[in-house]
Amino acid sequence: MRKKKESLRASILESLKSRSKSRAKQPGKPTRPDGTLIASYNVHKCVGADRRFDPERIGRVIHEIDADVIGLQEADTRFGERTGLLDLRRLERETGLIPVPIAGTTKAHGWHGNVVLFKQGTVRDVHQIKLPGLEPRGALIAEIELARGGSIRIIAAHLGLLHRSRAQQTRLIVDLMNDRGETPTILLGDLNEWRLGDRSSLNTFQAAFGPLPPPVPSFPSTLPLLALDRIMANRRGMISAVEVHDSPLARVASDHLPIKAVVSLETLDNDAEMRTG
């Protein structure tokens, strides 16, 4: 137990040091990296760190990120018809992002609050998956043909608060990966796991995604200490190092900071050549 506490304490101290260095190097709005950018953002039902409901502010953060594909969590109300909270038409006008279509809902933006938005591409396939556990949770799976070339599968998920539920949910996602061949796949979302080392429920993902990438603290947005949000790929070298989008607006718009990474289209093209050659 003492070693585990020391490990968590060391992780928190490293997070504080990294955040201090990052802000010293990049004051103001972060720059957008070149390439196909993917991102994940828990928008906390558009309620910010100041406890103010402000969907327009969330839209501005999404505009800042300027992602080609972004997965959102908590973009709908939690109960009833799960009504969407964002102005998607305005978001499309300002960013070019459009939602991956889902079936069986009238007012919700996404599936159990999960939304995948993309631009300059074509959706080939969509699946809405119910995840096991005590809470109503889901994952949205979309296969997207990128305009720059290559196709990827996006699994956007928001895992449960209970460790037991997360263990069940991670196993189901790995089973889905095994059933769907070797398509280049990116898993992103709020995976709600703060534990590190052997106790982490995310270790199950290593069967499908290999060694987990280093955790990048994104929660809480005002002083991020926990790496609840994750981006990982089933191809080595397919994504760049994951970073937080740490802007003054992002620090207040939600209780999570967005995270982002760049997809290597060259890796996707090489995979396609190997399958057809």
Per-residue pLDDT tens over the stretch 21-60: 555 445 555 566 678 899 999 999 999 999 999 999 999 9
Assess whether pLDDT exceeds 60 at residue 4.
Answer: no
Q: Which of 63-72, 102-111, 143-152, 267-276 has the lowest mean pLDDT?
A: 267-276
The residues, ordered by sequence, that sit 6+ positions from 221 with a Cβ below 8 Å of its Cβ are 49, 250, 251, 252, 253, 254, 255, 256, 257
Q: Are 222 and 236 in contact (CB under 8 A)?
A: no
pLDDT value of position 106: 75
141 band by pLDDT with thresholds 50, 70 and 90: very high
Q: What is this structure's pTM?
A: 0.87
Assess whether pLDDT exceeds 50 at residue 275.
Answer: no
277 band by pLDDT with thresholds 50, 70 and 90: very low
**Distance between CA 133 and CA 211 in Å, rounded?**
25
Instruction: Report the pLDDT averaged over residues 159-170.
Output: 96
Assess whether pLDDT exceeds 70 at residue 98.
Answer: yes
Burial class (CB in 10 A: 0-12, 13-18, 19+), 211: exposed
Q: Are 159 and 190 in contact (CB under 8 A)?
A: yes
Q: Which two tokens stand for residue 71?
A: 């997965």
Assess whether pLDDT exceeds 50 at residue 276.
Answer: no
- What ranges do the domains of the chain cover? 35-276
Averaged pLDDT of the chain = 87
**Distance between CA 142 and CA 116 in Å, rounded?**
8
CATH fourth-level superfamily of 35-276 = Endonuclease/exonuclease/phosphatase (3.60.10.10)
pLDDT digits (tens, 9 = 90+) for 176-201: 887 655 789 999 999 999 998 888 99
123 band by pLDDT with thresholds 50, 70 and 90: very high
